[in-house]
Chains A and B, each alone.
Chain A
Amino acid sequence: MLVDWFCSSASWLHVAILTVCLNLRYSLYGLPFLARWKDVAWWKKAYLIWTLTDETYALEVKHIDLEEAQFIPYCLALGGFDHLYWVVGVTAGALAGRALPFSSEGIDFAMSALFIVIMVDQYRERANRMPAAIGAAAALGSFLLFGVESMLIPSMAGMLTIFLCLRGRLDRSST
């Protein structure tokens, strides 16, 4: 996703605001571990928080009932390995990208495909459908009004407004 921002010469403010909206979930990921990681040394805790990505979170939350003596090393190791996979994957991608023997035109669709896959998976859960529809409506509206380059901030402002106005209805229906 960053690649797209690099190419589209978005301003850093755009990117910061978009990152907040996209990654707001990271703020929620910390919540289950607040109590569990309370007594961990600060530098270990910093690393645990640093590596708390989607996949790390999913696997750590799964084993949150482990004893303290097992849980902390488990989280540290998991975070470390995920970190390693990222670094290795990115390096390999950068090296392989240069040596590719065929035209890579259209490979950018991989990113669209990834979001479509996540969209389909989320659609299976009924509680996600209304928020997703609101997001799509806000995004489509601002795409048509403002064009693709400047659609992100108006569409986020739009969906935030709708979500705050409809909180009474949506909050009840999804809990």
Chain B
Amino acid sequence: MNGFWNLFAVAAAAGITTVALRVFPFVVLGRGGRRPKIIEYLGRVLTPASILMLVVYCLGGYYKNGLPPNTVRALAPAIATVFVIFMQWTVRKSLLSVFAGTIVYMFLVQYCSTLGY
């Protein structure tokens, strides 16, 4: 599968699955309205677990070719992550944390990494 069709298949898969999940309870439970306990449980635990998985997935992407030789580049994701956690833990403004964290990361990889460490 090449470029366009792969893109198309990925978009279609994500879109159709998402809509199907939203429709699902209305179709299956439309009449009775009783929810299966195990679905409720899985929905509850999978949400925090999948967020952690995504964090690992995203951060892991920065190290997929091993540690970058440039020290600043190697440390930048870790520094920015700690910064975002700190911002969100203290200030609690989600948009600000995302924005500031991204700026810090961009500053690190674009400017600080050219300083030669």
The answer to whether A15 and B52 have CB atoms under 8 Å apart is no
The answer to whether A115 and B22 have CB atoms under 8 Å apart is no
The answer to whether B51 and A115 have CB atoms under 8 Å apart is yes
The answer to whether A120 and B89 have CB atoms under 8 Å apart is yes
B residues neighboring A (CB under 8 Å): 1, 6-7, 9-14, 16-19, 21-26, 29-30, 33, 35, 38-61, 63-64, 76-77, 80-81, 84-85, 88-89, 94, 97-99, 101-102, 105-106, 108-110
The answer to whether B18 and A21 have CB atoms under 8 Å apart is no
Q: How far is the CB of B7 from chain A (nearest CB, A)?
A: 6
The answer to whether B21 and A122 have CB atoms under 8 Å apart is no
B-chain residues with CB within 8 Å of residue A45 when the two chains form the complex: 26
Question: Is there a chain B Cβ closer than 8 Å to A23's Cβ?
Answer: yes
Q: How far is the CB of A141 from chain B (nearest CB, A)?
A: 10
6 contacts between A and B (CB under 8 A): A106-B76, A110-B102, A111-B58, A112-B77, A136-B52, A167-B41
Of B7, B14, B49, B99, which is in contact with the most chain A CB atoms at under 10 Å from its CB? B49
